[in-house]
Amino acid sequence: MNQGSKKLSTQAIVLIGFLTIQYVLGMAVNLFVQFPEGVQGSQLWKFAWTQTLLTVHISIGVLLVLGALVFVVRSFRNKDRMWIIFSCTGLIAIVTAGVSGALFMEGQNDAYSYSMSIAFFVAVVAYGWGLYASRKTT
């Protein structure tokens, strides 16, 4: 495995770690944060920023989008076709999870919460499969 591929593999491991933390935080929010009844939109966003678990969950989500975007750029710069495919898949999944989370905040529709969990799974599988495939090419 060349040095560029090794660095990409390391970044995939870091992203999987942060995705795992994000998932655990999301479960904690789901279990321990009680959203106010009868409010929507901006009122829910104001509420969100008063909840430590939710604030950390949102913040890590933003960092995950940035990390996934950097990963895509690094994959293209390294001209690593395999990582380009897996990093783009991971980025799309993470952005999908973020959009689903934002939509969930607006109206508390459980389908968006479910969509976040599926997108998490797709991102982890993409990065994990990339790690598996990168080890087979050495």
Give domain status of residue 45, yes or no.
no
Give domain status of residue 42, yes or no.
no
Query: Phi and psi for 95 in degrees, rounded to 5?
Result: -65, -40
Q: What is the pLDDT of residue 1?
A: 58
Nearest partner of 28 among 58, 53, 56, 62, judged by Cα: 53
Give domain status of residue 38, yes or no.
no
Give domain status of residue 39, yes or no.
no
- Say what the alpha-carbon torsion angle 49, 121, 24, 127 is, to the nearest 10 degrees: -100
Q: Tell me how many domains the chain contains.
A: 1
Give domain status of residue 54, yes or no.
yes
Q: What is the pLDDT of residue 135?
A: 84
Domain with 64 in it: 3-33+50-136
pLDDT in tens, the chain (138 residues): 567 678 999 999 999 999 999 999 999 999 999 998 888 888 999 999 999 999 999 999 999 999 999 999 999 999 999 999 999 999 999 999 999 999 998 888 999 999 999 999 999 999 999 999 988 765
pTM: 0.92
Nearest partner of 9 among 83, 88, 120, judged by Cα: 83
Q: What is the 3-state secondary structure (H, E, C) of 45-70?
A: HHHHCCCHHHHHHHHHHHHHHHHHHH
Give domain status of residue 25, yes or no.
yes
